[in-house]
Structure 1
Amino acid sequence: MTDEGAGDIKMPYRREFALPPVVADLVAARNKLREHYKSAGLKFTLDGNLVGDIGESIAAELFGVQLVPGNGTGIDGHATDGRSVQVKTTGTGRGPVFRCVDTRAEHLLFFDIDFENLKGEVIFNGPEHVALANMPEAWIGQRPVTKVQIRAADILVDMGDRLRRVD
């Protein structure tokens, strides 16, 4: 696979990944619960903070991001080169949602997780300002970026601006 946003240089860029084993164990246990209670209609939906925490653990495992305990300021950790990193994750196939915060990360990682098949895809890996280029300077509440928009933004990212995988 090549990166379409690498300017004149086409280099391999692995977007797909298997969930790290410890995360896969959690999700596989959830999938067993869903199957066992299928007749009762229980879904055991992975949402909210758990999906976000899974995304941050993937960033640590795949990209070596050093996570910041008790984050919440728009920075989830730091890359091996010192850049601040925000991690966004979906398990629904939608794009990321952003809050208007005072502190923005230098870099954004956005993952789409296929919990049924224990795998995922890196949708965006680049400077956060590129992903937010079409957002207003300020807003109230949360604002989504569609999956089409975030994929288009990823195409604009040069290979040199991407975090390298360590896995």
Structure 2
Amino acid sequence: MKGLSVPKNFRLPPVVAELVAARNKLRDHYKSAGLNFTLDGNLVGDIGEAIAAELFGVTLVPGNGTGIDGHAVDGRSVQVKATGTGRGPVFRHVNTRADHLLFFDIDFESLKGEVIFNGPEKVALAKMPVSWIGQRPVAKGTIRAADNSVDDGDRLRRIDR
């Protein structure tokens, strides 16, 4: 069975909602200056990892840049990707690939998110070249299609702490 047993939508944890509210106050205060205070880059990645810990019980490991962000309850290594822009994930060529990939699309305005991919990382990267230099994006449609091919038994189960 594919794609049915694990809920895809979630609300952001309260502490992240507080961060977004603070950002919105800052943005409103400096509205006349045209400053957006966009949530992006490392902050969104860190929020994604926090969501993985909250929703799936991933035990995070220090040492970003290894290709492995943590471990699932069953011991599988996990890579976490997140976007706040609606785009697909971006991958670097690393020596060690995770057993599993979680990719979240976060809507900071509605304080909601969606699990776009929850499955073996090799499934997500199946159409990527064996080797590349720099970073390579995977289109959101491509990563969704890859998620649709994942068997439910290969997905991480939500625990929603």
What's the TM-score once normalised by structure 2's chain length? 0.96
Match of 2:72 among 70, 79, 83: 79
Structure 1: gaps (5+ residues): 1-5
Structure 2: gaps (5+ residues): none
Which is worse superposed, 39-48 or 122-131? 39-48
Q: CA deviation at 1:133?
A: 0.2
- Paired residue type of 1:39: S
Which is worse superposed, 84-93 or 11-20? 11-20
Q: CA deviation at 1:36?
A: 2.1
Give aligned-pair identity as a percent: 80
Q: Deviations over 1:29-63 (max 9, x none)?
A: 11121122212111001111101000000000000
- Report what 2:20 is aligned to: 27
- Paired residue type of 1:142: Q
- Paired residue type of 1:119: K
Q: Report how many aligned residue pairs link the two structures.
A: 160
Maintained 8 Å contact 1:31/1:116: no
What's the TM-score once normalised by structure 1's chain length? 0.93
Match of 1:42 among 35, 41, 45: 35
Match of 2:106 among 93, 110, 113: 113
Give the whole-Å Cα distance in 1 for the aligned partners of 2:94 and 2:45: 17
Give the secondary-structure state (helix, strand or coil) at the position aligned to 1:121: strand
- Paired residue type of 1:111: F
Q: Which has the higher contact order (CA 8 A, sep 6+)?
A: 2
